[in-house]
Amino acid sequence: MKKVKLAVVLILGGLLAAYISSCSSTAFTSAKVYLQQDNIKKAIEQLEIEVKQNPTNAEAFYLLGASYAKEGKFDKMNQAFAASLKITDKYKKDIENYRLKYWGQNYNMGVRLLKAKKYDDAIKSFETAIKVDPARAESYQNMAFTYLKKKDIKKAEEIYNKLLKLKNDDPRVYFSLGTIYFNEKQYPNAIKMFKKTIELNPKNKEAFSYLALTYDLSGNTEKAFDMYKKALKNNPNDQNLEFNLGRLYFQKEDWKNAIDIFGKLAVKHSDDYDVVYNLGNAYLYNGDKITKKRRELENPAKKTPKSEINKLKDQEKANYAKAITYLEKAVKLKPDNANAWYNLAVAYVRMGNAKKGKAAFDKADALKKNK
């Protein structure tokens, strides 16, 4: 008889467990009904009860996350989805689809607002897109770009640095951050970013150009020379790169190389004032360099052959004649530039044309007085 009583107790215990289980799923059942009726608020209330009573119900957490998403409560959505995935990956694909849906809605809205130049609203949409799916780089990239459009450089820099933590192998991010540092004159940081860009993408022509210019502006002339040459291999028709390399040669008083580069540019860009002005000056200063050398060699103690002296004289004249050609072009392009008139006057005098030299000097003096 004792065995029979024990069996009865066990049966009753099983019924009680079934009854308790039935009670715990009431909220879940109600939630599903509310979802069918599209009553999201009521569904959330019941699902919140269910996950408290049954914290291992992965489906309930998944449905709760989906309901939060419909209400625009994306932080809570992420918490619920994370709880569901911690229990099982059964609903992983559905969760990914929800994220994609709401991320796409907010991201695309942000892009439309950005194109419409509604920058503040665009930023809000991108911020929401990031909440929905923090792993998508596009949201950060466009939000940073929007801040740049607003001229809020600090915020753009902040967003790009966040993006680097998320995606540290994307050369575009390093390049964008490099241009920000470049424009902010933070040259050491800019150099790091451009070097990393080139490391990740050796075909990025702009990165070579920016790195060369950054070395140049930071006073690292030797590295600037090297990088300008590398950049020109990638961008052989880039006038700015050629000009800046010519300018570096000019600053080093390497007149022959400066003449070579500015001369090539003058063929293609004969109406570019800076090109013809610098070319004219390079010829003028090269002529002066040759003159100095010739005078040193004319010292009787040097016993320099007359033929060599005459050769140097011919070179002087040729350089001064070229200087006049390009400086005359320069004053036609910019007739109010006193320095161009002054250097033209010097070239005239060097060639023995005192009359034209005086007229050019007078013009230079008049322009300086009128400033």
User: Which tens digit of pLDDT belongs to each residue from 12-50?
Assistant: 344 333 333 444 589 999 999 999 999 999 999 999 999
Same domain, 283 and 319: yes
pLDDT at 254: 95
Residues 209 and 265 in one domain: no
Instruction: Verify that 174 and 295 share a domain, yes or no.
Output: no
CA atoms of 318 and 291, how far apart (whole Å): 12
pLDDT for residue 302: 86
Shared domain check, 204 and 253: no
Q: What is the pLDDT of residue 125?
A: 96
Give 314-341 pLDDT, tens digit per residue: 999 999 999 999 999 999 999 999 999 9
Predicted pLDDT at 167 = 87
Domain termination residue (choose one: 69, 90, 111): 90
- pLDDT band of residue 4 (cuts 50, 70, 90) is very low
Q: Indicate if 298 and 190 belong to the same structural domain.
A: no
**Per-residue pLDDT band at 139 (split at 50, 70, 90):** very high
> 187 and 59, same structural domain?
no
Q: What is the mean pLDDT of residues 92-106?
A: 95
**Whether residues 275 and 307 fall in one domain:** yes
Residue 123, pLDDT above cutoff 80:
yes
Provide DSSP, 92-138: HHHHHHHHHHHHHHHHHHHHHHHHTT-HHHHHHHHHHHHHH-TT-HH
* Domain-terminating residue out of 90, 117, 141: 90
Domain-located, residue 161: no
Note whether 364 and 302 are same-domain residues: yes
Residue 370: its pLDDT value, please? 84
Tell whether 121 is covered by a domain: no
Indicate if 208 and 260 belong to the same structural domain: no
Residue 98: the pLDDT is 93
Please check whether residues 318 and 269 belong to one and the same domain.
Answer: yes
Give me the mean pLDDT over the 190-215 stretch.
93
- Cα–Cα separations (whole angstroms), residue 281 to 108, 197, 225, 272, 327: 55, 37, 21, 14, 7
pTM tops 0.85: no
List the domain range (segments joined by +) for residue 42: 23-90
* Cβ pair 132, 103 in contact under 8 A: yes
pLDDT at 21: 41
* Per-residue confidence (pLDDT) for residue 17, from 0 to 100: 36
In this prediction, residues 254-266 reach a mean pLDDT of 96
At residue 105 the predicted structure's pLDDT band, cuts being 50, 70 and 90, is very high
Give the total number of structural domains in the chain. Answer: 3
- For the chain, the first-to-last Cα distance in angstroms comes to 123
Given pLDDT bands bounded at 50, 70 and 90, which one contains residue 3?
very low
pLDDT over 60 at 9, yes or no: no
Q: Give the residue, 25 or 195, on which the prediction is more confident.
A: 195
Task: Answer yes or no: is pLDDT of 11 > 80.
Answer: no
Indicate whether 210 and 241 sit together in one domain.
no
Domain holding 320: CATH number? 1.25.40.10
Query: 123 in a domain, yes or no?
Result: no
The pLDDT tens digits for 290-321 are 999 999 999 988 889 999 999 999 999 999 99
Residues 359 and 256 placed together within one structural domain of the fold: yes
pLDDT value for 6: 37
Residue 306 lies in a domain: yes
Q: Is 262 domain-assigned?
A: yes
- Among 189, 218, 247, give the residue marking a domain's end: 218
The pLDDT score that the predictor gives to residue 133 is: 94
b vs e for 15-53, b when ≥16 Cβ sit within 10 Å of the residue's Cβ?
eeeeeeeeeebebbebbbebbeeeebeebbbbbbbbbee
- Domain assignment of residue 357, yes or no: yes
Q: Looking at residue 236, what is its pLDDT? A: 86
